[in-house]
Structure 1
Amino acid sequence: MNPMQRNALECQAISEAFLSLHEQDGFTRLPPSSLLHDSVPMSFVMSAGLIQVENDLDKIVAETGGKFAFTQPCFRHFDMKQVGEDPTRLSLFHMSAAFHIGCSKRETVLPRLWRFLTETLGLEKDRLWVTYLDDEEFGRDEASYQCWKTLGVEEGRLVGLDQNHCFWRQRSLGQIASDGKKCGPHTEVFYERPEVSCPSCESVERAIGSCRCGRFVEISNSLFIENYIADDGSLIPADTVFAECVVGLERSAMILQGVSTVYQTSRFREWHQHIGKLLHPPLSIEQKNSLNIAFDHLSAFVKLTNDGAPAPGKGGRKYIMRRLVRDAMNQVQQCGLDTTFLLEVLLKDHHPTALERLQEECVRFNRYVQPINDNARCVNHDGK
């Protein structure tokens, strides 16, 4: 792939490439689930298939033979506080996922993934790092380690991490958990951006394992679920094993488009152009972070509304929708912008229902909540 083709790739194109590659290998393409899945009545779908797939597993396996792939929007309310600080994290994001029920062999997953990353997307091999399980209690995932070496990954770029980083435990109780809490090792692929300087990253292991500076960006994760955890904590072989491979679309797009944060990808480009007419550069770091949070929350609000989420209110999903709006409004006001005017500029042409609900909540917010900046609502529309 030449640089011009690579830089033009957006999330939809990356998703299509992932799904097409798996279809060529015998996977059935499935539609995504609504973010308002019945299995999470108080919240929204948070992962690529782990809950919604489990509850319809028999039907899906019968229709697909156990090999299927799809792209799923995900929303994690518990990530909202990390948005803005972490240049790679969004509360609403998309993952392309491929499942193989009944098989957990590494050679059925990792070669295809490596081909997708290095050939289809054209990522430089000398910027890719791979983690695998190497844990005192659970031992070393030798199968993943050897498979990556066979694919040509240099030993120095294979990073062994403990169970806190490379061992997955099931927390939901769907159909696939009928014989216990499934678990197993997973292996991740990270893309290094050496242009990001961070004094806290004293080593690759530390940077990959804990630092959120954005130098090492996790773009893919492959799970091999082969056991379940008994009541005494021991591992017992599972009756139904499976493999899952996921790729983060916004993070991949960020890398391919050559921008420094997920908030600068094409998904938010039009909104940034509108903001550029209201705020005069250069923007402060605080203003940039505030806009990142506001854009993330407004984008999530629009998607959730379009999927059928309730209007902001009290309890459950309504409360999450209220948090999205009010946190976004706080950030907008900290930038010295008029909230009502900004919402009209960003949303009036494409999202009338979301805009109406946002405006109603904005009225309640300004009426009953003490604003952070008493003068923020009185600024002119040009941001002065």
Structure 2
Amino acid sequence: MTGKEIREKYLRFFEERGHQILPSASLIPHNDPSILWTAAGMVPFKPFFTGQAVSEFKRVTTCQKCIRTPDIEVVGRTARHHTFFEMLGNFSFGDYFKENAIPWAWEFVTEQLGLPADKLWITIYLDDDEAFEIWHKTVGIPEDKIVRLGKDTNFWEIGVGPCGPCSEIYIDLGEARGCGSPDCRVGCDCDRYLEIWNLVFIQFFRDEEGNYSPLKSKGIDTGMGLERVASVVQQVSSNFDTDLFREIMDYTANLAGHNYGQDNQIDLALKVIADHCRAVTFAVSDGALPGNEGRGYVIRRLLRRAVRFGRVLGVKETFLFKVAGAVISQMEQAYPELVQKREHILRVIRTEEERFLETLAAGSDILNNLIADAKSTGKIEISGQEAFRLYDTFGFPLELTEEIASEQGLKVDKDGFTAAMEEQRKRARSARQEVEYLSERGVMYKALREELGETRFVGYSMLEVESNVMAILKDGLQEISVKAGEEIEVILDVTPCYAESGGQVTDFATLRGPELEVEIYSVNKPVEGLIVHRGKVVSGILKRHDSVKVTVECGRRNSTARNHSATHLLHKALKEVLGDHVNQAGSLVEPERLRFDFTHYAAVAPEEQRRIEELVNQAVLANLTIDVFETSLSKARALGAAALFGEKYGQQVRVVKMGDYSLELCGGTHLTSTAEIGLFKIVNETSVGAGLRRIEAVTGMGVLSYLAAKEEQLQEIAGVIKSPVPELVRRVEGMVQHTKALEQEIEALRGKLAKSEAQDILGQVTDVKGVQVLAAAVNAPDMDNLRNMVDMLRDKLGSGVIFLGSVAGDKVNLVAAVTKDLLGRGLHSGNMVKEIAKIVGGGGGGRPDMAQAGGKDPAKLQEAIDKVASVVEGQIK
């Protein structure tokens, strides 16, 4: 059974059990900045499990493309580590629960996949007796084949929110695949017992205090890795030996003049290239581009690593874009978007390859200098640290460094290289302990924080400060110095710059020194405690350990603070007008505007918006003092300070108090008085999801700009309809009334025209086995007019079949009707219109006496009309 067949069989199995098959979501999570990639099948459905949104379908099944990058270095060295993989899943949102999910899982693996029942094992959560009873009594699994495991493996939760126990299906691959230990059993880290399917039962809600309460609406979230189950079904020892990888690996091997399975190093390279190229191809298809941060950095890292392994195969020119073509050819049936974006994908990959080859050329120059230095000082080897720097910075494989050094009579300190590699891995492992899917770039920043210490932020009270340059990064690599024109990242020991967080955008700033100027256009905090300034060297040379003056752009900071302070007043006003159920659900604070998302069940009415504006502006005019202080979390809560639900706070918190009106926890920058806000004006109110609303507003000079734009619009309208602004409402009302009268007149004329046309086409009636049949193409602007014409003709015809078609824009409308006296003879309007609609590239249906359909090929309307008589003849009994 091929991977394609398994994928299709799985989706059809659950479709037959009432599940809606949905296409894979994008690898770039929609509206979820908390994660870089879609890393599991349930990610697109998080809002349904958390209750933020309601699913259109109660039962869903998908094959979700996923990316995970916590262990890039081990890809290809193990049987099952991948960066890109496909996750099969079936989901229930408040519909069925364990009583269905468990038997279906067993039925699929034993009957559909044909896996031997005696080789399968089941795990459940320690106290999940409900799952045990279903597995044991309903499915018939012996007690000794059901293993109870703890919370670390068999309970799913991510902080506050829905969670629940898991049940997994394992397969025993035999003693030969085991570790040989007498204690080897389900849960062992060896390859004998392989988990193939995880069933998560969403049945509890975990609150901030760690308490669990039962959910009224329970859910099912299952996941089965396609590559892993394919390896079991195809009876191969590694995922890479399945057809999902072998087609790509064989293509690459042929491209490089090798054969898979004859050399371990060649095999490793083929595996890494296949895996990484799959990830890059799909990520670029979904909109990711190689870059220096976030997803872009991950893509660049994977692509360059694949190119490096191409060197192991002896390939020195661009080749990865060709392998991407093979990936597209293999996966296009399941993911047609790959074909649509083929040119874009290949162009992006080829361009990045060419750029990296230039980087490799620069690495060659450095290596040649190292060789020259070694020879001049009488050394016989390149140090392991230098070899590792070439590998880590320029992508030079150790083997390539050894080969070039050997040609010059030198060796490479491999032990030193291994030690440097292990040291980096230790830092990476330490940094990854806190976050499951932390990006490789995050690992780098954590290592920098450990090396340099934390950045001291003084921007609440100071907008200018002397600081020292602790590190400079370019393209993710540390530099000693950079010159004018280069875009870089700078880490300082102290900074007044606010790093983007909590919805507030970054500060802009300038770094200055003797003959030096650096524009800072982005400040962020990639890991807690480390502030990174991104910018461009305008003039001079910036060097590590330089002393610089950091100056925040005051205008931007003040405008942003004006909008941030306004959000606090808005939050309070929303609660007063709409009710205490209103809570902040997100915000964006920019210099030009503010955006505030909040929980509320209905649109905010215009009169409510006016009242909210009044309350905020009253607080502005009251010139309330804005006090900011730090206290303990418990004291802040005792004072009644508002906090964001689900937000993590330390023991010490920052409180922003605005007179006696507003009290909130907040880490943003604020004014000293509400009067500095100037004015507040709501410009938009919309829905952003089930139970979530959004208000956009402006303050200060932004209000004047908004009002000026509105006044200009009024003047333009007045000019168009040739009326003074004070008379606009009266003039527009008159125009609306006149337009309505004209529309009524047009409808009346259309009715007369339809009657006339109907009378004309009655002459086209034909006799089919004693049944009057009228089929014609007519002029009707929409479906309503077409139905009215059919009704008119049916009344005039008395007994018969009427079938009319019309073209509206680029679409075809079809309506069929059968008079009641003929229904007993087998004639059925719904079946009739359904069959004929196929001719015009559409579909439809309806009742026996009347039905309608649509199509998208107007050129074939007459062909469809000509088919009516034969279809009627076929239906008549």
TM-score per shorter chain, which class?
0.7 to 0.9
SS at match of 2:27: coil
- 1:297 is displaced (CA, Å) by 0.9
Over 3 Å counting, the alpha-carbon distance change for 1:197 and 1:116 in structure 2 is: closer
* Partner Cα distance (1:61, 1:67) in 2: 12
Conserved 8 A contact 2:173-2:193: yes
| Aligned counterpart in structure 1 of residue 5 of structure 2, from 6, 13, 16 | 13
Instruction: Name the structure 1 match of 2:669.
Output: none
* Counterpart residue identity of residue 260, structure 1: S
1:259 matches 2:236: yes
Over 3 Å counting, the alpha-carbon distance change for 1:345 and 1:97 in structure 2 is: closer
* Counterpart residue identity of residue 205, structure 2: Y
Over 3 Å counting, the alpha-carbon distance change for 1:280 and 1:26 in structure 2 is: closer
SS at match of 1:340: coil
Instruction: Name the structure 2 match of 1:292.
Output: 271
Instruction: Name the structure 1 match of 2:209.
Output: 232
Conserved 8 A contact 2:321-2:350: no
Conserved 8 A contact 1:96-1:246: yes
Conserved 8 A contact 1:48-1:72: yes
- The residue correspondences of 1:362-373 to structure 2 (distance < 5 A) are 362-368=356-362, 369=394, 371-372=396-397, 373=400
Over 3 Å counting, the alpha-carbon distance change for 1:258 and 1:371 in structure 2 is: same
* Partner Cα distance (1:74, 1:248) in 2: 10
* Partner Cα distance (2:109, 2:395) in 1: 49
Instruction: Name the structure 2 match of 1:47.
Output: 40
- The residue correspondences of 1:1-384 to structure 2 (distance < 5 A) are 8-10=1-3, 12-41=4-33, 43-49=36-42, 51-55=43-47, 61=54, 63-64=56-57, 66-103=58-95, 105-134=97-126, 140-150=127-137, 151-171=139-159, 180-194=160-174, 196-199=176-179, 201-205=181-185, 208-211=186-189, 213-277=190-254, 278-279=257-258, 283-310=262-289, 312-333=290-311, 335-340=312-317, 342-343=319-320, 346-347=323-324, 352-368=346-362, 369=394, 371-372=396-397, 373-374=400-401
Over 3 Å counting, the alpha-carbon distance change for 1:31 and 1:367 in structure 2 is: same
- 1:359 is displaced (CA, Å) by 2.0
Over 3 Å counting, the alpha-carbon distance change for 1:237 and 1:163 in structure 2 is: same
Q: Which has the higher mean CA deviation after the structures are superposed, 150-159 or 38-47? A: 38-47
Over 3 Å counting, the alpha-carbon distance change for 1:86 and 1:201 in structure 2 is: farther
* Counterpart residue identity of residue 197, structure 2: S
Conserved 8 A contact 1:61-1:67: no
SS at match of 1:116: helix
- 1:43 is displaced (CA, Å) by 1.8
* Partner Cα distance (1:251, 1:262) in 2: 6
SS at match of 1:122: coil
- 1:324 is displaced (CA, Å) by 0.3
SS at match of 1:301: helix
Structure 2 unaligned blocks of 5 or more? 329-341, 363-393, 405-877
Conserved 8 A contact 1:167-1:184: yes
The alignment's C-alpha RMSD in Å is 2.7
Task: Tell me the alpha carbon deviations over residues 252-289 of structure 1, each in whole angstroms, 9 at most, x when there is no partner.
Answer: 11111222111111122233324544236764434433
SS at match of 2:401: coil
Conserved 8 A contact 1:196-1:214: no
SS at match of 2:317: helix
- 1:203 is displaced (CA, Å) by 3.1
SS at match of 1:33: coil
Over 3 Å counting, the alpha-carbon distance change for 1:104 and 1:162 in structure 2 is: farther
* Partner Cα distance (2:107, 2:36) in 1: 36
Over 3 Å counting, the alpha-carbon distance change for 1:253 and 1:281 in structure 2 is: closer
* Partner Cα distance (2:403, 2:6) in 1: 40
- 1:132 is displaced (CA, Å) by 0.9
SS at match of 1:214: coil
> Percent identity between the aligned chains?
26
* Partner Cα distance (2:89, 2:235) in 1: 24
* Counterpart residue identity of residue 246, structure 1: G
Over 3 Å counting, the alpha-carbon distance change for 1:338 and 1:355 in structure 2 is: same
Aligned length: 349
SS at match of 1:219: strand
* Partner Cα distance (2:7, 2:260) in 1: 34
Conserved 8 A contact 1:39-1:52: no
Over 3 Å counting, the alpha-carbon distance change for 1:280 and 1:120 in structure 2 is: closer
* Partner Cα distance (1:13, 1:285) in 2: 30
Over 3 Å counting, the alpha-carbon distance change for 1:364 and 1:143 in structure 2 is: farther
Over 3 Å counting, the alpha-carbon distance change for 1:162 and 1:329 in structure 2 is: same
Task: Tell me the alpha carbon deviations over residues 214-241 of structure 1, each in whole angstroms, 9 at most, x when there is no partner.
Answer: 3222211101111122333221222432
Over 3 Å counting, the alpha-carbon distance change for 1:60 and 1:234 in structure 2 is: closer
SS at match of 1:63: coil
- 1:119 is displaced (CA, Å) by 0.2
* Partner Cα distance (1:103, 1:353) in 2: 45
* Counterpart residue identity of residue 103, structure 2: P
Over 3 Å counting, the alpha-carbon distance change for 1:170 and 1:347 in structure 2 is: closer
Over 3 Å counting, the alpha-carbon distance change for 1:160 and 1:289 in structure 2 is: farther
SS at match of 1:119: helix
Task: Tell me the alpha carbon deviations over residues 81-115 of structure 1, each in whole angstroms, 9 at most, x when there is no partner.
Answer: 34223302221111121111124631110101110
- 1:339 is displaced (CA, Å) by 4.3
TM-score, normalised on structure 1?
Answer: 0.82
* Partner Cα distance (1:18, 1:233) in 2: 36
Over 3 Å counting, the alpha-carbon distance change for 1:141 and 1:244 in structure 2 is: same
Q: Which has the higher mean CA deviation after the structures are superposed, 32-41 or 220-229? A: 32-41
SS at match of 1:289: helix
Q: Which has the higher mean CA deviation after the structures are superposed, 344-353 or 81-90? A: 344-353
Instruction: Name the structure 1 match of 2:820.
Output: none
More strand by share: 2
Conserved 8 A contact 2:125-2:148: yes
Conserved 8 A contact 1:340-1:362: no
Over 3 Å counting, the alpha-carbon distance change for 1:15 and 1:92 in structure 2 is: same
Over 3 Å counting, the alpha-carbon distance change for 1:281 and 1:120 in structure 2 is: closer
Q: Which has the higher contact order (CA 8 A, sep 6+)?
A: 1
Conserved 8 A contact 1:47-1:74: yes
* Counterpart residue identity of residue 144, structure 1: A
TM-score, normalised on structure 2?
Answer: 0.37
Over 3 Å counting, the alpha-carbon distance change for 1:109 and 1:117 in structure 2 is: same
